Amino acid sequence: MAMNPNVEKALNDQIRWELYSSYLYLSMSSWYESVGLRGFANWEYVQAQEEKDHAMKIYQYIISRGGRVKLQAIDVPPYEWKSPLDAFRVSLEHEQKVTSLINGLVNLAIKEKDHASTNFLQWFVDEQIEEEGDAGQIVDQLKMIEKDGGSGLLYMLDKELGTRVYTPLTTATPPGSQ
């Protein structure tokens, strides 16, 4: 059975958004490096890798359904922020935007009666709960640090964020290896 063309197009659009997310977080990682916050840089670098994995998960899904991946241009992300709090606010707003896009994909799949895609997208719905929660928690922590004026607390948070480790998705299968 051929993939629904409307869902296929929307999933291709989402690949672009996921790759943009990876670019955005890689840009943030570079900025954090430039201001001496290597733990924050590590956290964003891991986030960039995860977003690339999300794009590849969709890529593999389209191919597995007999669809065609059509890569699109990726916008240039910002590369300067006023503070770690400013950057993480941007992260949170971005994740909220991605959540709305995922929800739109689910709604489209339901409308098109594409049950396989509806099922596939549930993983992303769950993932977005985690993504927004993580960014929101760090925003809250940075607000507390800013309120208390605690550079020592920022140092401690930087050390904590530096412990994040990238764990690749295990569900992606390269084309032709099935």
Q: Kindly report the pTM of this predicted structure.
A: 0.87
| pLDDT at position 93 over 80 | yes
The token pair at 128 is 């977005």
Average pLDDT over residues 133-158: 79
Q: Bigger pLDDT: 143 or 177?
A: 143
The region that residue 167 occupies, defined by phi over 0 for left and psi between -120 and 50 for alpha, beta otherwise, is: beta
Select from 78, 94, 71 the least CA-distant residue to 16: 71
| pLDDT at position 178 over 50 | no
Average pLDDT over residues 117-133: 97
84 within a domain of the structure (yes/no): yes
CA dist 102 and 138 (Å) reads: 22
pLDDT of residue 45: 97
Select from 102, 101, 131 the least CA-distant residue to 118: 102
What phi and psi, each to the nearest 5 degrees, are found at residue 146? -65, -40
Name the domain count of the chain.
1
Residue-wise pLDDT for 14-46, tens only, equals 999 999 999 999 999 999 999 999 999 999 999
**Domain span at 23:** 5-161
Assign 3-state DSSP to the chain and report helix, strand, coil percentages, each to 5.
75, 0, 25
81 within a domain of the structure (yes/no): yes
28 within a domain of the structure (yes/no): yes
Residue-wise pLDDT for 53-63, tens only, equals 999 999 999 99
What SS3 state is found at 173? coil
CATH of the domain at 86: 1.20.1260.10
